[in-house]
Structure formats: C-alpha cells, structure tokens
C-alpha cells in the first residue's frame, strides 16, 4: 500500500490518500494560531485610518482639479481668442 501525501492550500492540512483505492487514509489538520480580538480591532482601526487618509487625499485632488478646470473655463469664456492650441470652430467645418 503506497500513500500520497497532499497539502491542502486552503486549510494547510495534510491528507494521506491510498494510491490503489483513492480513499483518504489519514488527515492531519494544521495548527492555526488563534488571533486575539484586541489585535483584530487594532488592525481594523489601522486599516480604516489608512482608508480615511486616502479618501481625504482623493477629495483634495478632486477639489484642486475642479478649481483648475473652472479657472480655465473662466479664462476661455472671458478671452476666447487666447485659448492655447489650434482649435477650429466646429461651425467652420463645412
């Protein structure tokens, strides 16, 4: 009787399977470290503070882009001849 030793990628346990029958002969579960609830809460707080920082940064960047766009629009509205680039009026396309 020859046995295959298989490691489970999910539970990290070990299975021993009989080659001739294909049945599981033995199973050993992996020893998994139990986490402390206080450690879990600390990790979640750290993650949430990181997300809050990213959210604040994204909101600031959005406000900055909006201000730049509004300024460009205001400039273009006041002085349409001074627009950067070679733009042609769509009414002249015909």
What are the boundaries of each domain within the chain? 37-75
pTM of the model: 0.42
CB of 14 closer than 8 Å to CB of 8: yes
Q: In this predicted model, what pLDDT tens digit does every residue of 11-43 receive, in sequence order?
A: 888 888 888 888 888 878 877 677 788 888 888
Q: In this predicted model, what pLDDT tens digit does every residue of 74-92 receive, in sequence order?
A: 988 887 766 666 667 777 7
- Scanning 29-94, the segments in alpha helix (DSSP H) are 37-78
Q: Is 84 helix (H, G, I), strand (E, B) or coil?
A: coil
**pLDDT, greater one: 72 or 65:** 65
CB of 10 closer than 8 Å to CB of 24: no
């Amino acid at each position: 009787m020859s046995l295959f030793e298989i490691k489970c990628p999910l539970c990290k346990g070990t299975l021993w399977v009989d080659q001739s029958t294909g049945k599981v002969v033995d199973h050993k579960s992996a020893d998994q470290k139990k986490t402390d609830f206080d450690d879990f809460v600390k990790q979640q707080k750290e993650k949430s503070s990181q997300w809050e920082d990213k959210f604040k940064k994204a909101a600031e960047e959005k406000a900055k882009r909006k201000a730049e766009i509004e300024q460009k629009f205001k400039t273009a509205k006041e002085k349409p001849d001074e627009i950067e680039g070679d733009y042609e009026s769509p009414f002249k396309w015909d």
